[in-house]
């Protein structure tokens, strides 16, 4: 009993040590100290919760029964770890970028945040893990019992159930104390991880110590040990290939899917880079853990024939009187059991409270509490209760099952259960076509097959599944026998169950995924998971207060500009009474920063960005929707701006055109004024000169005086005519002219014009076709005559033929009267044809001093009369066409 008392004392001291270590680690992490807490070695050691009491005690038992087959349980995880580049890296990256809290959360997030899926995964995980927790309790009580049996008072049997109860209570307490310190499941449990790392060292050391004792203490060296193995009944390398491959694959799958492994590997991961170290260090750990398993088993079989091989690790030192080593070994087993229970309880409680308790509670309270702060308290309470519940379940299972059967068997059943997550997990990470319906179908099918073919039969024939079902199949269908599904007889029951459950699971998953259509959020999440490396370039962790602030500063600099951001941060730090640029990330500061940023990128985006860095919340779909809304608003605004800008461009172009026109007009006006003054100046000059001669010259002969006076008279007439023309033009251009409509024939009008222009006198011969000229006109005949006069006078003036002839042709074309004036001169050069109707435009040197206003006046008159006068190119000489609309009635006469 003394040994037992010492054992209890040592055990309690060890527990106190664990509490102290966890507490110190939490304190150190809280103060931002203790970088070593986040080292890759601690991460690797925390992975060692894969090695539970099942490993510590059970592996030896496994080896004693089946020889080397036990290594498959460690080779599977080894292969997964050295293949970290394939799956683990992606899993950890997704877990970090999506702020995943558990494997249920990962699968549900991937498939559109489906809570149904999460609940299902949680339930399956609880069903699969509960026996495993019971197994841990059992192994500790067994080891206690082993001590008690060898004690001096052999008769005093230890009450195993009481031991298990106190153990469960202590574990629940520890887990609640250090596992629910923070609400955020993404926050690392530094205390817990540290305690687990310590336990990992203890169990490795204990197992190695026992191994060394067995090999060198009991067997006398390596070669002797090998000889002993060769002599034992597990000397033959005789493994079933299907079990070998099946168990390796199963342990590899379970390593990825076990909730507690997910917890330490992904959720508690500080830095993705730690995986690099763990990739070789963890396989090394596993190798050391299994190095002495076979020697211990062989020596145990030799020395302790007939006792439980699962306890050889403990009973060997005890039987040899090595109490110190036995206590160490006991501590190793105790460490393995407790660390597994603690982490499994944390992982399961996170799942249970997040996916089952909280949704139910929120439903019951109508979701009103979301607004108030007591959600936090409720969530913490839910998690604590869940931990207690999970541990209690394990204890109840232990009580009910009574702790029978070999340890290893329960472990493998549990492995096969959680391995059902694998298709959904890997499919979700690597295949964008995987859908929620597919995942659900695969999980349901796989878990049903697992329950029916492995879990329920594991209670023993006749307990839950009757003999009849086991031998004849469900409803008497022989192909539904639990251990010979579809007629696959003679297989190992475990391999059989694993094969069928995984096969049907995967088939269901793929088939339903191919046939179903995912919801938008599933597709969104699918893209984010599968292409996680494109979406999350950052690998570093947002841990520690200052690191967060620094990241915030980097982000703010990108958005606000560095000077402004630095000033903002410095002033915030100043308000908090801190020097430098990095204030504490207090809620006030974060709120003001978010406000500041939302000025630049919109409220939702700012919230999401700050949330991403601080880790308060992940980007929800609502956030994304809000971002999209804001973006849409911005786009609408920018399209409005664009419309306005095109309008402005148009206006600007109009303005520019108007300006050009004005400039042109101004230029024309200047030209006009200078032309007019020039035109006025010439006659004025001659008038002045001749009038001066008349005044000053004495003795001027009457003949000369008369000549000079007539020059003055002519010039004055020319001046008057010019001024008349100008006046006329100005009146016409201003539209002030009033038309005096008369009726008359074209012929009369032409006669009048011909006479006014100087008749047929002189050298110009006018040829007319009088037959066509009987057209009645009803217009301002005086004005029209003015045009004709002008055209005839022009021909008289400018026709340069030897015998100038002007042909006047008139005809009706539809409702238009066309009168052509064609002379036989050289005509007007093409480049001048466009300018002849402009004011003061004269072509060549002027024989007769016209002012160049005639055609301009003609054009204006015809415009007033509703017709036009144009130059007619391509005739024998200069040709002008006067066109004028006539009424049909008048024309018919």
Partner 1 sequence: MSIDPNPGPVFVERRAYRRRRLVDAARLLPILGVTLVCLPLLWTGERDAPTSTTYAMIYFFSLWLALVIGAALLSRRLKSEAKSDTADAGADAVGGPAGDK
Q: Which residues here bind partner 1, judged by CB under 8 A?
A: 67-68, 71, 75, 78-86, 226, 229-230, 234-239, 241, 244-245, 248, 273, 276-277, 279-281, 283-284, 287, 291, 294, 527, 531, 554, 557-558, 561-563
Which letter does DSSP use for residue 620 in this model? P
Judged by beta carbon, residue 32 or residue 83, the one nearer partner 1 is 83
Tokens for 677, please give them: 């003054």
Beta strands in 664-764 (DSSP E): 742-745
> What's the rounded Cα separation, in Å, for the pair 102 and 261?
10
Q: Which is nearer to partner 1, 242 or 833 (CB)?
A: 242
φ, ψ of residue 373 in degrees (nearest 5): -85, -5
Residue 99's Cβ-side half-sphere holds a number of Cα atoms within 13 Å equal to 15
* Least gap, CB of 422 to partner 1 (angstroms): 16
Q: How many residues does the chain have?
A: 893
Q: How far is the CB of 83 from partner 1 (least distance, A)?
A: 3
Minimum distance between the CB of residue 551 and partner 1, rounded to whole angstroms? 11
- Strand (E) or helix (H) holding 125: helix 115-150
463 three-state secondary structure: coil
Closest of 19, 54, 540 to residue 273, by C-alpha: 540
Give the nearest distance from C-beta 552 to partner 1 in angstroms. Answer: 13
Task: Please state the closest distance from residue 242 (CB atom) to partner 1, in A.
Answer: 10
| Nearest by Cα to 127 from 517, 433, 394, 403 | 394
CB of 345 or CB of 597, closer to partner 1: 597
Q: Closest separation between CB of residue 8 and partner 1, Å?
A: 37
In terms of Cα–Cα distance, which of 326, 185, 333 is closest to 263? 185
- Which residue lies nearer to partner 1 by CB, 12 or 245? 245
Rg (CA), the chain: 54
* Closer Cβ to partner 1, 198 or 254, answer by number: 254
User: CB of 295 within 8 A of CB of 213?
Assistant: no
Is residue 518 within 8 A of residue 580, CB to CB? The reply is no
Residue 293 CB, shortest distance to partner 1, in Å, is 10
How open is the CA angle 503-506-508, to the nearest 5 degrees?
Answer: 105
In the complex, the smallest distance separating the C-beta of residue 219 from partner 1, rounded to whole angstroms, is 13
Q: How far is the CB of 553 from partner 1 (least distance, A)?
A: 9
- Least distance CB 549 / partner 1 (angstroms): 15
Q: How far is the CB of 480 from partner 1 (least distance, A)?
A: 31
Q: Which helix (H) or strand (E) holds 777?
A: strand 776-779
CB of 424 to partner 1, least distance (A): 22
> Tokens at residue 434, please?
């995987």
SS3 732: helix
For residue 241, the minimal CB distance to partner 1 (Å) is: 5
**Interatomic CA distance for residues 582 and 546, integer angstroms:** 7
> Nearest approach, Cβ of 563 to partner 1 (angstroms)?
6
Torsion of CA 795, 796, 799, 801, to 10 degrees: 130
d(CA 326, CA 54): 18
Distance in Å, CB of 513 to partner 1, minimum: 18
Which residue, 563 or 888, is less far from partner 1 as judged by CB?
563
Closest CA to 295 of 217, 239, 238: 217
Whole-angstrom Cα distance, residue 155 to residue 143? Answer: 17
- The residues, ordered by sequence, that sit 6+ positions from 649 with a Cβ below 8 Å of its Cβ are none
Tokens of residue 353, six digits: 């409270």
The CA distance from 136 to 52, in Å, is: 8
Specify the residue, 40 or 616, whose C-beta has the smaller distance to partner 1: 40
Give 40 or 863: the residue with its C-beta nearer to partner 1.
40
State which residue, 427 or 526, has the beta carbon closest to partner 1.
526
Cβ–Cβ under 8 Å, residues 63 and 293: yes
Q: Which residues pair with 812 in a beta bridge?
A: 817
Q: What is the DSSP letter of 17?
A: H
User: How far is the CA of 177 from the CAs of 42, 182, 186, 344, 765, in angstroms?
Assistant: 21, 10, 17, 15, 129
Helices 493-515 and 241-257 meet at what angle, rounded to 10? 50
Q: Which is nearer to partner 1, 68 or 498 (CB)?
A: 68
Q: How far is the CB of 281 from partner 1 (least distance, A)?
A: 8
- Minimum CB separation of residue 565 from partner 1 in Å reads 8
Beta bridge partner(s), residue 541:
none
Contacts for 668 with CB less than 8 Å, ≥ 6 apart: none
Nearer to partner 1, 157 or 287 (CB): 287
Strand, helix or coil for residue 180: coil
Name the residue nearer to partner 1 (CB basis): 128 or 428: 428
Query: Which H or E run includes 813?
Result: strand 805-813
Tell me whether residue 277 or residue 320 sits nearer to partner 1 (CB atom): 277
**Which bin fits 311, alpha (ψ -120 to 50), beta or left (φ > 0)?**
alpha
Q: Using alpha carbons, select from 779, 792, 766 the residue that is nearest to residue 854.
A: 792
- Specify the residue, 248 or 483, whose C-beta has the smaller distance to partner 1: 248
Residue 613 C-alpha from the chain's centroid: 16
Q: Which is nearer to partner 1, 529 or 871 (CB)?
A: 529
Q: What is the DSSP letter of 67?
A: G
Question: Quick one: tokens of 119?
Answer: 């609940």
Residue closer to partner 1 by CB (options 84, 821) is: 84
Nearer to partner 1 (CB atom), residue 78 or residue 329: 78
Smallest gap, in angstroms, from Cβ of residue 263 to partner 1? 23
Cβ closer to partner 1: 280 or 672?
Answer: 280
């Amino acid at each position: 009993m003394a040994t037992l008392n010492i054992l209890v004392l040592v055990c309690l001291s060890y527990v106190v040590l664990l509490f102290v270590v966890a507490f110190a680690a939490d304190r150190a992490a809280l103060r931002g100290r203790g970088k070593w807490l986040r080292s890759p070695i601690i991460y690797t050691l925390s992975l060692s919760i894969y090695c539970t009491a099942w490993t510590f005690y059970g592996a030896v038992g496994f080896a004693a029964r089946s020889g080397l087959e036990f290594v498959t349980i460690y080779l599977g995880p080894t292969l997964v770890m050295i293949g970290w580049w394939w799956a683990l890296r992606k899993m950890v990256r997704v877990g970090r970028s999506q702020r995943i809290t558990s494997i249920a959360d990962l699968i549900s997030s991937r498939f559109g945040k489906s809570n149904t899926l999460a609940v299902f995964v949680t339930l399956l995980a609880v069903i699969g893990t509960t026996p495993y927790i019971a197994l841990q309790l059992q192994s500790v009580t067994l080891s206690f019992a082993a001590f008690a049996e060898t004690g001096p008072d052999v008769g005093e049997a230890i009450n195993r159930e009481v031991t298990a109860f106190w153990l469960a209570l202590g574990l629940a307490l520890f887990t609640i104390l250090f596992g629910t310190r923070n609400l955020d499941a993404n926050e690392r449990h530094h205390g817990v991880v540290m305690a687990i790392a310590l336990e990992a060292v203890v169990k490795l050391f204990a197992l190695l110590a026992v191994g060394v004792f067995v090999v060198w203490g009991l067997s006398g060296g390596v070669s002797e040990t090998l000889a002993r193995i060769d002599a034992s009944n597990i000397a033959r390398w005789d493994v079933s290939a299907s079990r070998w491959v099946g168990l390796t694959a199963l342990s590899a799958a379970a390593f990825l899917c076990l909730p507690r492994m997910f917890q330490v590997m992904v959720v508690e991961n500080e830095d993705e880079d730690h995986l690099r170290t763990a990739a070789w260090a963890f396989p090394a750990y596993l190798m050391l853990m299994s190095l002495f398993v076979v020697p211990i088993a062989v020596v145990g079989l030799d020395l302790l024939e007939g006792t439980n091989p699962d306890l050889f690790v403990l009973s060997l030192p005890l039987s040899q009187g090595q109490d110190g080593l036995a206590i160490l070994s006991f501590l190793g087993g105790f460490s393995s059991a407790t660390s597994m229970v603690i982490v499994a309880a944390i992982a399961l409680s996170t799942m249970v409270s997040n996916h089952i308790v909280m949704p139910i509670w929120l439903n019951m309270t109508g979701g009103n509490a979301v607004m108030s702060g007591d959600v936090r308290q409720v969530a913490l309470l839910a998690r604590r209760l869940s931990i207690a519940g999970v541990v209690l379940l394990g204890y109840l299972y232990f009580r009910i099952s009574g702790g029978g059967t070999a340890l290893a068997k329960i472990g493998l059943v549990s492995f096969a259960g959680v391995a059902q997550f694998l298709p959904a997990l890997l499919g979700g990470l690597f295949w964008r076509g995987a859908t929620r319906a597919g995942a659900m179908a695969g999980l349901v099918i796989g878990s049903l097959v697992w329950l029916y073919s492995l879990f329920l039969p594991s209670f023993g024939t006749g307990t839950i599944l009757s003999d009849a079902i086991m031998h004849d199949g469900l409803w008497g269908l022989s192909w539904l026998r639990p251990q010979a599904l579809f007629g696959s007889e003679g297989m190992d029951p475990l391999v059989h169950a694993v094969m069928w459950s995984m096969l049907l699971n995967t088939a269901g998953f793929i088939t339903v995924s191919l046939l179903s259509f995912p919801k938008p959020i599933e597709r969104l999440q699918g893209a984010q998971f599968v292409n996680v490396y494109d979406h999350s370039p950052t690998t570093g962790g947002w841990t520690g207060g200052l690191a967060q602030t620094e990241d915030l500063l980097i982000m703010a600099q990108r958005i606000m500009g560095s000077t402004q951001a630095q000033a903002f941060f410095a002033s915030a730090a100043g308000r908090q009474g801190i020097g430098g640029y990095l204030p504490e990330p207090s809620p006030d500061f974060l709120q003001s920063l978010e406000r500041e940023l939302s000025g630049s990128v919109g409220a939702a985006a700012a919230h999401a960005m700050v949330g991403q860095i601080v880790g308060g919340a992940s980007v929800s779909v609502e956030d994304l929707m809000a971002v999209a809304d804001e973006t849409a608003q911005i786009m609408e605004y920018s399209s409005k701006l664009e419309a306005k800008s095109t309008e402005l461009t148009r206006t600007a172009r109009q303005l520019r055109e108007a300006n050009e026109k004005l400039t042109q007009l101004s230029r024309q006006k200047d030209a006009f004024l200078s032309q007019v003054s020039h035109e006025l100046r010439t006659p004025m000059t001659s008038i002045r000169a001749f009038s001066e001669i008349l005044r000053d010259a004495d003795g001027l002969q009457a003949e000369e005086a008369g000549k000079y006076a007539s020059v003055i008279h002519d010039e004055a007439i020319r001046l008057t005519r010019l001024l008349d023309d100008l006046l006329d033009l100005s009146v016409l251009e201003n539209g002030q002219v009033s038309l005096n409509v008369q009726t008359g024939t074209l012929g009369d009008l032409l006669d009048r014009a011909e006479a006014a222009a100087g008749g047929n006198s002189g050298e110009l011969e006018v040829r007319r076709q009088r037959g066509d000229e009987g057209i009645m006109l009803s217009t301002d005949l005086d004005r029209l005559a003015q045009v004709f006069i002008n055209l005839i006078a022009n021909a008289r003036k400018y026709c340069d033929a030897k015998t100038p002839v002007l042909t006047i042709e008139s005809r009706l074309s539809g409702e238009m009267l066309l009168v052509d004036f064609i002379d036989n001169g050289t005509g007007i050069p093409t480049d001048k044809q466009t300018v002849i109707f402009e004011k003061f435009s004269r072509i060549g040197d002027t024989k007769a001093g016209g002012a160049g206003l005639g055609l301009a006046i003609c054009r204006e008159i015809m415009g007033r009369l509703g017709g036009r006068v144009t130059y007619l190119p391509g005739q024998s000489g200069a040709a002008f066409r006067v066109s004028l609309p006539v009424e049909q009635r008048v024309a018919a006469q």
